[in-house]
Amino acid sequence: MMKLLTFSVVVLYLSTLVIASCSNNGQMPTPSDSGVAVTYTVWGRKYCPHTNSSLVYSGYAGGSYYDHLGAAADYLCLPPDPNYRKRTYSGQHGEVYGGEYDSPFVQNGDGNDVPCAVCRRNGVSTVLMIPGKDTCYKGWNREYYGYLNAHHYSFRAATSFVCLHVNPQFVNGGSRNYEGKLFQPVVGICGALQCPPYVNNYPLTCVVCTK
């Protein structure tokens, strides 16, 4: 029974390929023909940097407060047009704050709010963020590059690593310093980290690649 089922699945798969080939003038479908696509977030920008990417939405970076013990680690790209189902709630809850640049590493950025953009790239099936690189390996497309960001290692809340665009923008009207979910550059520390090739206290680059 199992062999018969496996055989049927293989036949169905091959039939699908034949039909797709016939409908494409005898050519096998490419990823772009088959509707394959990926999404990725550009941190620090309002728009998609690659001409082959389309904007899903432009929003605001956010996440948990940097000093809360029960904070979530990940960064969020919050849309500009939220929908609400309830108006009040008084029970136990998590909290989401806006994201801010929290260092002079970004010129004139300290205290400014961080924008973000969610982008869709057609014709590729994989997206990868590589820390420590500003170029992609052979066969990959570079979507954008910049500097690896997290928040300060001494803060109580956990954090994750994201790739901040090399030319970051600010949210209009978001220059007041409220703290919140913070963006700070990440440096390499020699020891267990191999030096060379890494260099102690050098800010780490990053790149987002697709294929």
- Asked if 93 and 109 count as a contact pair (C-beta separation under 8 A), the reply is no
Specify the range with the lowest mean pLDDT, choosing from 20-24, 170-174, 175-179.
20-24
18 or 161: which carries more pLDDT confidence? 161
Mean pLDDT, the chain, rounded, equals 85
What percentage of the chain exceeds 70 in pLDDT? 83
How buried is residue 196: exposed, middle or buried, by Cβ count under 10 Å (0-12/13-18/19+)? exposed
pLDDT at residue 15 is higher than 60: no
Give per-residue pLDDT as tens, 109-124. Answer: 888 999 999 999 999 9
pLDDT for residue 34 = 61
- Asked if 190 and 118 count as a contact pair (C-beta separation under 8 A), the reply is no
pLDDT at residue 50 is higher than 90: no
Give per-residue pLDDT as tens, 72-109. Answer: 999 999 999 999 998 888 889 989 999 999 999 998 88
